[in-house]
Amino acid sequence: DTGVSQNPRHKITKRGQNVTFRCDPISEHNRLYWYRQTLGQGPEFLTYFQNEAQLEKSRLLSDRFSAERPKGSFSTLEIQRTEQGDSAMYLCASSLAGESGNTIYFGEGSWLTVV
């Protein structure tokens, strides 16, 4: 399977703990996106990378959130000092910049529950 891969699929953590999610994009894709989805909402943009450069961060992304893509391949999203409001599905997507339009392909998501 050469689709977008996310780990872990599910994470339950206590409030105040740190969590990290990993995303492996489609191999030839140079762009990688992080979105967050809560119940009844569409995916909300968090941040994206082109190769290893982080090109944009949403104002939704507080200082407790940090994302990296050190070698331009996989990416990690870390949430420090988790809060109950961080409970959501965290979605990773990838695309090939320069193609006609910009179609992104999602992974299966990582569920976070903060208790």
Partner 1 sequence: DQQVKQNSPSLSVQEGRISILNCDYTNSMFDYFLWYKKYPAEGPTFLISISSIKDKNEDGRFTVFLNKSAKHLSLHIVPSQPGDSAVYFCAASEWDDKIIFGKGTRLHILP
* Closest by Cα among 37, 55, 63 to 95: 55
103 near partner 1, rule: CB under 8 A = yes
- Total residues at interface with partner 1 (CB under 8 A): 27
62 near partner 1, rule: CB under 8 A = no
Radius of gyration for the chain, computed over Cα atoms and rounded to the nearest angstrom: 13
97 near partner 1, rule: CB under 8 A = yes
H/E stretch holding 110 reads: strand 110-114
Contacts of residue 77, defined as CB under 8 A and 6 or more positions apart, other chains included, come to: 20, 21, 23, 34, 46, 65, 66, 67, 90, 92
25 near partner 1, rule: CB under 8 A = no
Residues β-bridged to residue 11? 112
40 near partner 1, rule: CB under 8 A = yes
Positions 77 through 96 that interact with partner 1 (CB under 8 A): 91, 93
The CB-side HSE value for 105 (13 A sphere, CA atoms) comes to 15
Q: Which of 48, 61, 75, 82 is in the footprint of partner 1 by CB under 8 A? A: 48
108 near partner 1, rule: CB under 8 A = yes
Could you list the residues that contact partner 1 (CB under 8 A)? 4, 6, 33, 35, 40-45, 48, 56, 91, 93, 97-98, 100-109, 111
